[in-house]
Chain A
Amino acid sequence: MAKANKEISEVNKDPNEKNWKRFYALLAKSPIKQYRVVYRSRKLKNRQDLYSSVVELFDAKGRLIGTVPIYEKKGKKIRGATKYLTGLSNINRYE
């Protein structure tokens, strides 16, 4: 089973469209099955809050495989990137 480690680290280094698309292409064949979104703060007050939030990726058994950012850089614009996780299941849990 192809691991997506290289794609994960690429997208962490530079979350541009190209890297995200590469990551997404590998997703179906990888062991990544679940995700959890972790926002660093309740309010996204500034760019740092956004940059430091992550999505944790897990396999079918719930073991952590890696994390990816939550945003995508499109030129000067910042957009969300969770669409690149389509197909995964949510395991968020808050108190």
Chain B
Amino acid sequence: MIEQDLKQLQERSIYIMREAKEKFGNVAALWSMGKDSTAMLALARKAFLGKVPFPIIHIDNGIDFPETYKFRQELAKKWKLDLIVAESEIKPELSGYSCCGENKTIALKKLMKERGFDALIVSIRRDEHGIRAKERYMSPRNRDFKWNYKEQPAELWNDYSSKLDDKGHIRVHPLLDWNEIDIWNFTKREKVPINPLYKSKNGYRYRSLGCTHCTSPVKSNAKGIDGIINELRSTKTEERAGRDQDKEKEYVMEKLRALGYM
């Protein structure tokens, strides 16, 4: 895994977040209390000089880890976040991804409609999975959250996308260029608070955090961030090992994206 220059990475991320706030009236960001979206919040505080000037959304299916709920509570208070918890149902009949996928999208759509957000900051990274490698810094979604990946707009220099239509929104991806290890290097350097589940306990830790249903721990003795970084430097496995969804049919991820699932 390549460790990139943090200055180079931060510059682009800060630029993109400031650009989103300039271009779009009503901006919000998704937060899952994971290392990526929390790093995004830390970057927002840098971009906007100590505050996060837009609402933060947690799409909550109710079966997140208790530690995650505690972390959410504490950091929202510490950083004075304008937190919106959008509750999603768990409907097993919908698909194999009953706790996430469509259920979460439904909750998000409802919230977007209520609040009329024009742009949504989502903390995905290009190195996470092959499909996400096709994303752009700003990517339009139409009213039904569909993403027509075949007609991606040109993203030249600093000319980022505009909305497709009045009822759609733009997905903003400030962390697109970041690798997993860059997030940890940044977290360490900036002393960004992290969910304790990332740290090893009883020989296991969570490398990537979803809800309790979809996430399995991996073997590890990394008790702190330094340990995590050392492990990443020597590892040859993908980050999402331990997230069941990815072991499903090959092309499903892509279909989920097209449906609006983050």
User: Is any CB of A less than 8 Å from a CB of B in the complex?
Assistant: yes
Of B12-20, B186-194, B208-216, B230-238, the one contacting chain A is: B208-216
Residues of A within 8 A of B73 (CB): 86
Contact residue among B69, B88, B204, B213 (Cβ-Cβ distance under 8 Å from A39):
B213
Q: How far is the CA of A83 from the CA of B72 in the complex (A)?
A: 11
Given A46-B93, A77-B89, answer yes or no on A82-B66 (Cβ-Cβ < 8 Å): yes
Q: Contact at A90–B66, with CB atoms within 8 Å?
A: yes
Residues of A within 8 A of B6 (CB): none
Interface residue count on the B side (C-beta < 8 Å): 31
- Confirm or deny: B87 has a beta carbon within 8 angstroms of a beta carbon on chain A: yes
Q: Contact at A71–B62, with CB atoms within 8 Å?
A: yes
- Confirm or deny: B255 has a beta carbon within 8 angstroms of a beta carbon on chain A: no
- Confirm or deny: A65 has a beta carbon within 8 angstroms of a beta carbon on chain B: no
Of residues 80 through 96 on chain B, the ones whose CB sits less than 8 Å from some CB of chain A are 87-93, 96
Contact residue among B65, B66, B90, B204 (Cβ-Cβ distance under 8 Å from A71):
B90
Q: Contact at A46–B92, with CB atoms within 8 Å?
A: yes
Q: Contact at A79–B61, with CB atoms within 8 Å?
A: yes
- Confirm or deny: A49 has a beta carbon within 8 angstroms of a beta carbon on chain B: yes
- Confirm or deny: B67 has a beta carbon within 8 angstroms of a beta carbon on chain A: yes
Residues of A within 8 A of B213 (CB): 37, 39, 44
Residues of B within 8 A of A45 (CB): 92, 96, 98
Residues of B within 8 A of A88 (CB): 66
Interface residue count on the A side (C-beta < 8 Å): 31
Q: How far is the CA of A88 from the CA of B212 in the complex (A)?
A: 14
Q: Contact at A94–B216, with CB atoms within 8 Å?
A: yes
Q: How far is the CA of A83 from the CA of B61 in the complex (A)?
A: 10
- Confirm or deny: B258 has a beta carbon within 8 angstroms of a beta carbon on chain A: no
Chain A residue with Cβ nearest B92: A44
- Confirm or deny: A26 has a beta carbon within 8 angstroms of a beta carbon on chain B: no
Q: Contact at A50–B61, with CB atoms within 8 Å?
A: no
Q: Contact at B66–A87, with CB atoms within 8 Å?
A: yes
Q: Contact at B65–A90, with CB atoms within 8 Å?
A: yes
Q: Contact at A94–B217, with CB atoms within 8 Å?
A: yes
Q: Contact at B62–A72, with CB atoms within 8 Å?
A: yes
B95 to chain A, nearest CB (A): 9
- Confirm or deny: B113 has a beta carbon within 8 angstroms of a beta carbon on chain A: no
- Confirm or deny: B46 has a beta carbon within 8 angstroms of a beta carbon on chain A: no
- Confirm or deny: A11 has a beta carbon within 8 angstroms of a beta carbon on chain B: no
Q: Contact at B201–A90, with CB atoms within 8 Å?
A: yes
- Confirm or deny: B64 has a beta carbon within 8 angstroms of a beta carbon on chain A: yes
Residues of B within 8 A of A83 (CB): 60, 62, 64, 66, 69
Of residues 43 through 75 on chain A, the ones whose CB sits less than 8 Å from some CB of chain B are 43-47, 49-50, 70-72
Residues of B within 8 A of A86 (CB): 66, 69-70, 73
Given A80-B90, A91-B202, answer yes or no on A35-B62 (Cβ-Cβ < 8 Å): no
Residues of A within 8 A of B61 (CB): 79-80
Residue of A46, A77, A79 with most partner-chain B CB within 10 A? A79
